[in-house]
Amino acid sequence: MDVILFLIFAIVAVVCAINVVVQTHPISSAVSLIGVMGSLAILYLLLGAEFIAAAQVIVYAGAVMVLFVFVIMLLNAGAEVRRGRSLMVQLLGIPLLISFLGLVAWFVERIYPPTARVQFGGFTGGTPRAIGQALFTTYLLPFEVTSILILIAILGAIVLARKEID
Amino acid sequence: MHPITTVDYLCLSAALLLIGTVGVLTRRNVVIILMSIELILNAVNINLIAFSRALENLGGQIFAIFVITDAVAEAAVGLGILIALFRNKETVQADEIDLLKW
């Protein structure tokens, strides 16, 4: 059951991610990115991170993607014209990429010690209760600093995007 | 069937990281470059949560929350910069934005 769920959603995530990069029109990329975020939320649930899964759906698939779609609409960005790349790049790029990924996987497999299998419901440390408790006691200072970061980001976005008044 | 271990999650994360890097390097539309950066940050999140699960330590998940916050702030500021650029240059193609090229 876990294996099937992991395989399905991992494959969906990778295919959607490839689609994000391959599509020429930004709207198609944005829709594919929502697919990636949704399947990653399921994978987080499999890892026992309930709060992160909910935050992933709400923040990424909701807020950030609406922001992206809104900007695409505002800029009226059309499809990108393909520019011919050199033959060597086209021939060598994908095999080199796949072999690099295989190399990384091999190293991780070799170096990382064998662990117990990841089961659904095996670890339930990611409930909102546990997260909140850790966030407001042990990690209180980083949490407060993050609020300043968000404030700066909001100010920066407003200042950058506002219209110059002469 | 081969059981799912932390290593599988790490490999998925590496795949997403590579795809995102390819997107950042090869695409010229700035909106898609920003989306590829979101992909890379999500790959980091998978690593953090997989290790949080493997070590049974909540710190990884807390860090993932901070990464999500950073990603949102980065997207907001990046799109603000993009709108300001579009107002000046009327383009979203990264290779046509050469204001500093001498």
User: Which residues, 6+ apart, have CB-to-CB distance to A71 below 8 Å?
Assistant: B31, B79, B82, B83
The answer to whether position B61 is within a domain reads yes
Q: Which of B8, B42, B73 sits opposite A150 (nearest CB)?
A: B73
Best mutation site among B32, B34, B44, B52 for testing chain A: the one with the most A CBs within 10 Å? B32
- Comparing A76-90, A100-114, A150-164, B87-101, the range with the smallest average pLDDT is A76-90
Q: Is residue B68 part of a domain?
A: yes
Q: Which of B5, B53, B86, B89 to mutate to test the interface with A (most CBs of A within 10 A)?
A: B53
**B56 conformational bin, left if phi > 0, alpha if psi -120 to 50, beta if neither:** left
Is-contact A16 A90, C-beta < 8 A? no
For residue B48, the model assigns a pLDDT of 93
Please check whether residue A137 is in contact with residue A59, taking contact to mean a CB–CB distance below 8 angstroms.
no
Contacting residues of B for A19, CB less than 8 Å apart: none
Nearest to A67 among B19, B69, B79 (CB): B79
Share of chain B above pLDDT 90, in %: 45
Give the closest of B5, B20, B81 to A160, CB-based. Answer: B81
Banded model confidence at residue A41, pLDDT cuts 50, 70, 90:
very high
Interval A50-63: pLDDT, tens: 899 999 999 988 88
Provide the domain limits for residue B51: 6-93
- Asked if B3's CB is within 8 angstroms of A47's CB, the reply is no
Answer yes or no: is B85 within a domain: yes
What tokens were used for A69? 């779609």
pLDDT at B67: 93
Return the domain boundaries, chain A. Answer: 1-82, 136-166
d(CA A118, CA A75): 44
Residue B1 has pLDDT above 70, yes or no: no
- The complex's ipTM? 0.89
Q: What is the pLDDT of residue B63?
A: 93
- Position B99 in a domain: no
Interval A103-127: pLDDT, tens: 988 888 888 776 656 666 666 777 8
A48: number of Cβ within 10 Å? 23
Report yes or no on B100 lying in a domain. Answer: no
Instruction: Say which CATH number the domain at B33 has.
Output: 1.10.287.3510
In tens, the pLDDT along A131-152 reads: 899 889 999 999 999 999 999 9
* Domain A1-82 bears CATH identifier 1.10.3720.10: no
